[in-house]
Structure 1
Amino acid sequence: MTVPDLGRALSDELGRIVPHDGYLLAGLDPLNRASCLFTEEHDYSDAAARRMALDDAAGAERHPFERLGAGPANTGVVGAGHRHRVRLRNVSVPEGFGGEMRIGLTHARVAWGGLILVRERGSRPFSAAEAAHAQTLAEPLAAALKRFVACAPLRPSRYSLSPGVAVVGADDKVASATPSAHEWMRLLAPAASSVDERDLTATVWNIAHLARRAGGQALSRVPTRDGWIALHGQLLEGPEPGAVAVTIQPAPGRLLLPTVSVWYGITTRERAVMQEVLQGLPTKHIARRLDLSPHTVNDHLKAIYRKTGVNSREELLTGLA
């Protein structure tokens, strides 16, 4: 299953009780809420989606995803009957939409993503009853998103590209980039897209936006069929405020282990064992360092293998290399 397949599956499941004309699905790095997967169908343009993301971060949205992800209410409706008509008039209506529902995808108290449903102008707005129905599906849909990532066995990256660096200007265009960065950005673009060389994919734009918002740096680890990709954004010093350098590369183990532990449900003790394995230590040494018996270490390793879909220590090491 691909990311677009996942988006269509979640949309179809919701569409049985909450009909809609389009959707936008974003998966989040569970450690820092950076975008790590993205797909859409008949939804907002890139410019409108970015404006909404900026408004969301600034607290100008009626239903910000940070609040929806925290619960207890995971759904929110934007429509003609609500007080935030300005956003509807200035953003949604020019895009051809007359109603919007937002759903925070939270499971086991972790925000895994967000989903936006839209209805075209002239359609009836989303109702409170439909929002209540969507609320009942928010956690199962979040669990499905988590499974989509965690059901893929941990395997070594198949990417042979060298790390790339792109400089994103304050205008959210690529000011300069290494050849490998252009290749990485093409890999991160949706399969059907054919964007200009200066345009940004949603994931690259998001990491630049987060670096600006944090006043320094931001990190995202992106799961793909060919391995995990790390994006690191760093605010640049210089004459142009807001310029961000984005480094794109296969995710190394030191960056991958924390997020893989959350996606795959690795316990704190299992993660400690994994950290020692990454150091190349044998079982007896791991047992001494963690004050465990070798038998207990082996039990933890078996649980790790089962959760990550590997069969041996060697496969685990290469998957995190």
Structure 2
Amino acid sequence: MTSRRGAEHRAISDLKDLTGAGLTAPEVFRQADPILRNVLGFDAVCWHATDPATGLVTSVLTDDLKLDDFRQAVQLEIWGDDVARFPEIRLSGRGADTLSRATGGVLQRSLRYREQIAPAGFGDELRAVFDAAGGMWGCAAFMRAPDRGPYRPEELALARRAARHVGVALQRSQLREVLPVQTPLPPAVVLLGPDNHLLDADEQAEQLLGEFADDSTAIFTAPTPFVMAAEQARATVAAARTPAPLRVRARGGRWFVLHASLLRGAAEGSAAVVITPASPPEIMPVVFASYGLTHREREVALRVVQGHGTHDIARALCMTPLTVQDHLKSIFTKAGTRSRREFVAQLLVAHPPEVWT
């Protein structure tokens, strides 16, 4: 018992070290894998970066799993009515959950287990969401062989502690470099078939596709964010809802927004995905989360960007001017700026701060 507790303590300490290492998201996942593999007792893992604002998956990274049936995984995640899904785990505030706990020990109750996990030769699954400062920066699914048995309560508790540190490391991965002021880019268009394979792309999109390539590209011939945007459009059209835009950061550091629409409005048809550079309003929720602003600080910061003065903000938010000033001091410190003008200028070019303070 003492030896296990020592191993868990070291694992948490090593994960804390990742939060200050200035790593990219794939580097966070690569370094977290060996730290967690032994103490959690998993045999395979699939890591995902996500749109911090919506929680939608934007990349896939795995060294353990065959992705031949990844299209089924996408459909189960978007369409499936199952237990212990990433959105449900996030809404619960638990940070992590297992199929064995969610199904009361009867794994066959899970559609995901019956159609994907068991056929792949695995037993219990543990899922974690990596939240920090109000944003969901990633998630992961950890599978183990059936002969290991279900995840134990202490392993789930450790996963919940670990998820918080991985979330902070991913959040800070967005602060690792300052983006130069960039020239505007025209919209780019990608066409995906009913099976979400790439059918065509315009010249601008051809140049951008490599910026988002990940492990799923070999399966779909299109990167994960395009597939997720298209599949989400199919699901929302079927449910008579409007699909949310998908934010994704390219390898070069620039944020883009993906909008998908179905040709002739048919869920079973082809999908056009339009990708545009993220405007300041579109990227602001991500930037605020990357700074680590509280909910109240975000309300103040938004009004600062809109040009409101201290007394106007105080009246709108039912607080005193002194409280507004206190929030502003905290906002400027977290953003690495010294004044309203500097803060607004930084947001208008969607710059992250040079250092985390």
TM-score (norm 2): 0.70
Question: Hey, which of these two has a bigger chunk of helix by percent?
Answer: 2
User: Which of 42, 55, 76 is residue 64 of structure 2 equivalent to?
Assistant: 42
**Structure 2: 5+ residue stretches without partners:** 1-22, 353-357
- For residue 237 of structure 1, report the CA deviation from its aligned partner: 2.7
Q: Quick check: 2:44–2:64 contact (8 Å CA) kept in 1?
A: yes
**Superposed CA offset, 1:20-58 (max 9, x none):** 33321223334322224543222240x423312322344
Structure 2 partner of 1:165: 189
Give the whole-Å Cα distance in 1 for the aligned partners of 2:217 and 2:137: 28
Structure 2 partner of 1:103: 128
Structure 2 partner of 1:219: 245
Q: Look up the SS of the partner of 1:68 in the other structure.
A: helix
Q: Does residue 181 of the first structure (1) align with residue 208 of the second (2)? A: no
**Superposed CA offset, 1:138-171 (max 9, x none):** 333333333333x436634658753211122322
- Tell me the number of residue pairs that the alignment of Structure 1 and Structure 2 aligns: 312
Give the whole-Å Cα distance in 2 for the aligned partners of 1:136 and 1:171: 38
TM-score (norm 1): 0.77
- For residue 253 of structure 1, report the CA deviation from its aligned partner: 0.4
* Identity level (%): 26
Where in structure 2 are the equivalents of 1:238-277 lying within 5 Å? 241-267=268-294, 270-271=297-298, 274-275=301-302
User: Which of 62, 72, 75 is residue 51 of structure 1 equivalent to?
Assistant: 72
Give the whole-Å Cα distance in 2 for the aligned partners of 1:193 and 1:213: 20
Q: Quick check: 2:283–2:350 contact (8 Å CA) kept in 1?
A: no
Q: Does residue 19 of the first structure (1) align with residue 19 of the second (2)? A: no
Output the amino acid matched with 1:53.
V
Q: Quick check: 2:135–2:286 contact (8 Å CA) kept in 1?
A: no
Q: Quick check: 1:158–1:226 contact (8 Å CA) kept in 2?
A: no
Structure 1 partner of 2:143: 118
**Superposed CA offset, 1:60-99 (max 9, x none):** 4443222222336522146997324875564345545455
Structure 2 partner of 1:317: 348
Output the amino acid matched with 1:56.
E
Where in structure 2 are the equivalents of 1:51-200 lying within 5 Å? 51-71=72-92, 73=94, 74-77=96-99, 82-84=107-109, 88=113, 90-92=115-117, 95=120, 97=122, 99-106=124-131, 111-119=136-144, 124-129=148-153, 130-149=155-174, 151-152=175-176, 155-156=179-180, 161-190=185-214, 195=218, 199-200=221-222
Give the whole-Å Cα distance in 2 for the aligned partners of 1:245 and 1:81: 40
Question: Hey, which of these two has a bigger chunk of strand by percent?
Answer: 1
User: Which of 260, 263, 277 is residue 233 of structure 1 equivalent to?
Assistant: 260
Q: Look up the SS of the partner of 1:231 in the other structure.
A: strand
- For residue 300 of structure 1, report the CA deviation from its aligned partner: 5.1
Q: Look up the SS of the partner of 2:244 in the other structure.
A: strand
- For residue 287 of structure 1, report the CA deviation from its aligned partner: 3.7
Structure 2 partner of 1:201: 223
Relative distance call for 1:185 and 1:298 in structure 2 (3 A) is: farther
Q: Look up the SS of the partner of 2:62 in the other structure.
A: strand
- For residue 229 of structure 1, report the CA deviation from its aligned partner: 1.9
Comparing 2-11 with 310-319, which one deviates more in the overlay?
Answer: 310-319
**Superposed CA offset, 1:177-201 (max 9, x none):** 21111222211013x78748x6221
Give the whole-Å Cα distance in 1 for the aligned partners of 2:142 and 2:351: 36
Comparing 249-258 with 84-93, which one deviates more in the overlay?
Answer: 84-93
Structure 1 partner of 2:313: 290
Output the amino acid matched with 2:224.
A
Give the whole-Å Cα distance in 1 for the aligned partners of 2:81 and 2:148: 25
Q: Look up the SS of the partner of 1:83 in the other structure.
A: helix
Output the amino acid matched with 1:139.
R
Output the amino acid matched with 2:62.
E
Q: Does residue 306 of the first structure (1) align with residue 329 of the second (2)? A: no
